[in-house]
Amino acid sequence: MAQLTDEAGFAKELGWNGQYPVTLIYNRAGERVQVIEGGQDAATFEAAVQRAM
Over residues 29-43, the pLDDT tens digits come to 999 999 998 999 999
1 is a domain residue: no
Would you state the pLDDT for residue 46?
95
User: At residue 29, what are phi and psi to the nearest 5 degrees?
Assistant: -85, 0
Distance from C-alpha of 21 to C-alpha of 53, rounded to nearest angstrom? 23
pTM of the model: 0.67
The structural domain count of the chain equals 1
Instruction: Summarize pLDDT for 6-31 with one digit per residue, the tens.
Output: 778 778 887 888 778 889 999 999 99
Quickly list H helices, the chain: 7-14, 42-52
33 is a domain residue: yes
Domain residues for 23? 18-52
2 is a domain residue: no
- Check whether 1 has a pLDDT greater than 60: no
12 is a domain residue: no
9 is a domain residue: no
